[in-house]
Amino acid sequence: MANIVVLGAGLVGGVMAKDLSKQHEVTSIDISQNNLDKLNGIKTICADISDKKTLQDLIKDFDLVDAINKTLKTLNGSFALGILFKKFNNIVVGARRGSPLAVGYGPEENYLGSDSYALKSMTNKITYLDDGDICVLTNNRVDFYNSKNKKINKEILILSNDKHTAEKGEYKDFMSKEINEQNITAKTCIKEYVDQLRKDINLYNFPIHPKEIQKVVLIGCGTAYHSCATAKNWFEELTNIPIEIDIASEFRYRKIKLNKKNLYIFVSQSGETADTFAALDLCKKNKVKTCSIVNVVESSIARSSDFVLPIHAGPEIGVASTKAFMGQMLVLYILAIKISEVRKEISQSDYEKKINDLKKLPDLIKKTLNYCQDNIPIIAKDFLKAKGAMFLGRGLSFPIALEGALKLKELSYLHAEGYPAGEMKHGPLALIEEGLPVVILAPKDRYFEKTISNMQEVIARGGKVILITNESNNIISENVRFTLEIPKTDDCLTPFLMTIPLQLLAYHVASLKNCDIDKPRNLAKSVTVE
């Protein structure tokens, strides 16, 4: 049994008070004695709330925070609440469990929102609530309380205020701008982590010594999961550490054998993804080592992790992630190289070569962007009348195929699937019919000949092939609809370049279909619900 205060005894509050009184001790507060007279058997208080009574008086007299805390304890599941009161229009109460919630501070006004992105257009001063916190807002005051009703102090974070990043500039939409910023994202990220003079990667205060890591577990959702899948290949190529990847929404529902010698890496653009945060919370409760790769360093995931690796992509406004995906992959690749070097699983000469190749990556991204700008709009027209599309790749190209399919689905609402090219004959080949667009990712790597063989199977069944490769010579191409040739580079860096034409393809198909590029239907930038 809980002691519950119901503010308001009208049509809604009165019924609520009567219903709650069956199991709890209820006090009803209202300014109308007539309303209160109808509540037989319930303790009632007629309050004269006027200019003479301040919000603080109300909280003191009727213990509002205590009442809300007791009510919240009866709720199940995750929530982020903004509670309004009909009779007290100068107060908003916020509470959270599982889902993120933040307070923004302004001149003579304060705000309640899900995260920094929601609040940044109004203020750059925010405070994040932790699980169990309650905040009480007026226009000129914010008070915080914990689950035991004790008043607490919370840190005010100052967000970067770069107006350039929040403006489209010369671009039609944010996504186009963010795609074309990816060379800058790469350059910034590399500059932050790579010591150019010493030819070394800087990673300090790592939560577990790389030599002690028994297993790396990579966890993410959507695009972040695809960056994890790409990184799995890098870690396996460069280290002897066993690698697992997991979808965050599945992770905590299985009987996971958590190990303190394992490193659990959580990838999220916003740092507020509910499923990813819940998986991280499970790890924290079991006291295993955690690392987060995020774009928002003030986020819930970043603050809850033992170690944070920012991707330095700058604010990403478009819902469909582009430059953040590039940043996530880049940080994961840099991490794999460094762990390999510390564990002595890569030679010093190979280590330095990897760093030198990294330094060339921003220019290669820029070159790929320029090359694709003229070609992709023509290719996109082939997708307008299609019932669906297929993306095929092997090795490092397979996660990129998944990401390409996801981007097309997100932006153009066209059904698309990504598959390992070698799996075609195990079922998906049945989907190939005359005119179906099939994107083949075939860089010149150890899988090249096999991938081209899979491509011929698609051609033989009438598929309309769009080939993306860095080796077009000696490919029988008369039955290939389009060929895009990206620059040659180290095999490990090819996914970065392969990603760009797929992003632009999805963008231009969606543009031709007049879809809302920056705000695809049914989707949100920060997925804060499970």
pLDDT, tens digit, for every residue of 103-143?
999 888 899 987 776 787 788 888 888 888 999 998 888 98
Residues 295/301, Cβ–Cβ less than 8 Å: no
Judgement on whether residues 189 and 90 belong to the same structural domain of the protein: no
pLDDT score recorded for residue 55: 43
Last residue of a domain, one of 164, 199, 230: 164
What CATH code is carried by the domain that includes residue 137? 3.60.20.10
**Does some domain include residue 192?**
yes
pLDDT, tens digit, for every residue of 228-240?
999 999 999 999 9
Distance of alpha carbon 494 from alpha carbon 447, whole angstroms: 13
Angstrom CA distances, 495 to 372, 490, 498, stand at 15, 10, 5
Distance of alpha carbon 447 from alpha carbon 498, whole angstroms: 15
Distance of alpha carbon 196 from alpha carbon 193, whole angstroms: 9
Angstrom CA distances, 207 to 20, 150, 291, stand at 48, 32, 8
**Does some domain include residue 454?**
yes
Residue bearing tokens 């607490």: 152
Last residue of a domain, one of 164, 189, 224: 164
Q: What is the CA radius of gyration of the chain?
A: 27
**Does some domain include residue 208?**
yes
Q: Is 213 strand, coil or helix?
A: coil
For the chain, what percent of residues have pLDDT higher than 70? Answer: 93
pLDDT, tens digit, for every residue of 138-160?
888 898 998 888 889 988 888 76
pLDDT, tens digit, for every residue of 407-426?
999 999 999 999 999 988 89
Long-range contacts of 252-260 (CB under 8 A, 24+ apart): 252/278, 252/279, 252/282, 256/282, 258/282, 258/283, 258/286, 258/288, 259/214, 259/215, 259/288, 260/287, 260/288, 260/289
**Does some domain include residue 409?**
yes
CA 398, 242, 312 angle in degrees (round to 5)?
60
Highest average pLDDT, of 5-19, 437-451, 513-527, comes from: 437-451
Q: Nearest CA to 408 among 394, 427, 423, 387?
A: 387
What CATH code is carried by the domain that includes residue 460? 3.40.50.10490
Judgement on whether residues 160 and 182 belong to the same structural domain of the protein: no
Judgement on whether residues 278 and 158 belong to the same structural domain of the protein: no
Judgement on whether residues 301 and 220 belong to the same structural domain of the protein: yes
**Does some domain include residue 252?**
yes
**Does some domain include residue 274?**
yes
Judgement on whether residues 159 and 236 belong to the same structural domain of the protein: no
Judgement on whether residues 90 and 180 belong to the same structural domain of the protein: no
Position 61 confidence tier, pLDDT thresholds 50, 70, 90: very low
Mean pLDDT within 504-527: 90
Judgement on whether residues 113 and 189 belong to the same structural domain of the protein: no
Last residue of a domain, one of 124, 146, 164: 164
**Does some domain include residue 17?**
no
pLDDT score recorded for residue 198: 79
Q: Nearest CA to 515 among 270, 269, 319?
A: 319
pLDDT score recorded for residue 54: 46
Judgement on whether residues 426 and 504 belong to the same structural domain of the protein: yes
**Does some domain include residue 66?**
no
Structural domain including 150 reads 74-164
What's the mean per-residue pLDDT of the chain? 88
Judgement on whether residues 260 and 391 belong to the same structural domain of the protein: yes
Q: Is the pLDDT of residue 453 over 50?
A: yes
Kind and range of the H or E run holding 480:
strand 480-485
Question: How many domains, in total, are found in the chain?
Answer: 2
Judgement on whether residues 157 and 214 belong to the same structural domain of the protein: no
Q: Is the pLDDT of residue 50 over 70?
A: no
Judgement on whether residues 160 and 262 belong to the same structural domain of the protein: no
Question: What are 369's two structure tokens?
Answer: 């962007």
Judgement on whether residues 153 and 206 belong to the same structural domain of the protein: no
